[in-house]
Structure 1
Amino acid sequence: MAWPSNHRTTEEDRQRWRDTYADSDAAAGIVTTEDFEPFKQRNDMFTRAFWDDTVRSKHTDGFFQSYRMKANYRNGDGFRQKDFALRNASWLISDVISNRSADQGRREGFQAPISEDTPVAETKVEIDNPMAMAAEIKRIARFFGADLVGLTDFDDRWIYSSRVDTRDFSDAENTLPVGLTSVIVLGHKMDQELVATYPSALAGAATGREYSHEAAIVIQLAAYIRNLGYQAVPSMNDTGLVIPFAIKAGLGEYARNQMVITPEFGPRLRFSKIFTNLPLSHDAPRPLGVRAFCDICTECADACPAKALPYGPPEVSAASEASAIQGVRKWTSDAKACFQYWAKLQSDCAICMRVCPFNRDFDKLTDRLWRKLALGRWRKLALWLDKRSNRAKRLKPKDWWDGA
């Protein structure tokens, strides 16, 4: 197939899709094939930008330098010095964590697990009720600031086959403690008004703030577990793919825009995770109806300035695409086109998040009623209503600064 598959969904596509997901193995929305291969983190698009000349462009260095007070400030609304200043300040806690082992080739939270700041207690608390312990962990996670918490089993399919030594961007061994049994997945909601200003450097503050939040939260929750006498490895983008774990943990469903749609916040959140051997009961995946909605909706693909998002049904990625996990049937973006647009912009772009019909405030009754339509048989009506609403309109950054 062409990659990405940029054609409109046909009825033939839809029937093939329905047939594909008819079996119970697809309950989590994750379908692997016999060609499945665990992902090498060296092939992550952001890592490739440092070593792969086919990814680099004249804008790449400027993109990374812009996070180090070397942005190309311009008069355009959303790209002024104070916009970059807020974005970069929002990343500060995450940067402190990720940079502390740089001399060892470890970028913690991104290309390596976060270091164990707390030793495992010599005395282990006996746990005879994993269900009660799961409830306790969720309560403690929320106490530290997580907005969503789900628990699933340790599945080594989604662990990177190798991590990256950031000194020379070579493959490095991706090791974890023996005997891990569970993954605690945490969701961190992004600021809705800042998300509404995408694309802008200002909007990047919504991303950076949650990376800083999650860095603190996973370290604290892991410390609690280690104080109980159990292993806990705090993790952000490192070590393994978080989206499959989030779906398996029942937090949401995978969407055309490459994000997990949650019933609480739609696509508007980041995920982190903790690998542990703490005895915990696990949550089940929840097929919500998002997949069926995405079958008829292409708002994210239509709005993508890089034309990086696919039309049509989920497909298995072409073997030539190093940054796409192999042997998984899913919607897959053209990551190279996406990243190069980011580099040109000098900030992250999440227009696809902003325009997603599920990007709503579900505290409001009207949005909860819309969600009920969208996740049921009236999804076409829900899409019709969304297209005729003002919901996805971009908020001008200057209006955000003015407190509009």
Structure 2
Amino acid sequence: MAASTSQPTGLLIIGASQSGVQLAVSLRALGFEEPITLLGEENHRPYQRPALSKEWLQGEVGNESLIFRSNEYWAEHHVTLVKGERILRIANNRDGSGVAVAESGAEFPFKRLALTVGARARKLAVDGADLTGVVYLRNADDALALKALVGDATDVVVIGGGFIGLEAASSLKKMGKNVVVLEHGPRLVGRAVGEETADYFLEAHRARGLDIRLDARISRFIPESTPDGGKAVAAVELAAGEVLPAQIVLVGIGVIPNTELAEQMGLAVDNGIVVDAHALASDGSTVAVGDCANMPNPVPGSPAGERIRLESVNNAIEHAKVAAYSLMGRREEYAGIPWFWSNQADLKLQIAGLSMGFDQTVVRRDDERGKFSVLYYRGGRIIAADCVNAPLDFMAVKNALAKGQNIPADAAGDPTVQLKSLAG
């Protein structure tokens, strides 16, 4: 093991993410008294990511509004915040202690370790992908790079019709840009919602002026020379030969969980760091939390052995609370029902539960009020709902799932009937 440069911290949290911040906050609330070090790779104070593609990009909120906690908070709660350190390897012992070694050569000894390392943007392999103007939107530096380009751009091509792509496309459209969305698959948001919801979003976004192409195939990014002798993107060429002008190409084709440190430590990895119901990794000591963790499906009544990796703020918070209890020597189950949201222009999507494995859907649509919901069932019981501009539907399903109640499918299709009156 590498030599220690200081006394071991009680807990080293690698990843100054939403889950990392929540883990530190929850531990202090539970009475954890040992020193905590919260270490981040980015040279920024821990911040919220969701607004990067919406309010922050549009200039509606400033940098400070994204910051989780003040420097005074960390000092008062005896949490050492380390910025700009990328951990390359971890020398770990059987008792859970070890030393994390950074790219800079700095060493961070610890008694216990938490991996809240999140995920990184999936890169697009196409000719011209390294041109100036081809950007991603995963972290603050990505957002700063995008914002620096927006002022001079007229045409934007967004590659990927998932949440990030549609949120950013809606923001850029609102900012007066000509926006084309290219989705490789046959429908929008294919990993997160069912066919009815995907069709609704396609119809709604096209009605709001977004040019959306499904089953799109990209041939290459066409370059142009810049005054400084570099190369910037000028257009996107599709496989069929069409050329779309673009001074910005924003790629949002999903993420890859950061599992390299876990693999180097010998932890079990399978589409994320494999953890049990209490956020403990396969060594029984390290905790892994949030986007990087593959955990048992936390929804009550899920099939035995069903596992999932969740990418959401809600999960980062709730999973961190489970991990905090584990580090305190307690075994608490995941509290609440997983839920998600995505704001795209005036379309406010809220998802309650997990729709995987559904065998029936019920659609509630009220075009006069601009409300739309899809309820998902498995074996006659409700398991999830997609709700667009329908917060009462969302809350009714979320509460029913939390209480183990059902909402009968045969009565749920009438949008004039409140779902909460059917739960039981």
TM-score (norm 1): 0.27
Q: Which structure features the higher share of strand residues?
A: 2
Q: Which structure features the higher share of helix residues?
A: 1
| More RCO (CA 8 Å, sep 6+) | 1
TM-score (norm 2): 0.26
Give the greater-gyration-radius structure (CA): 2
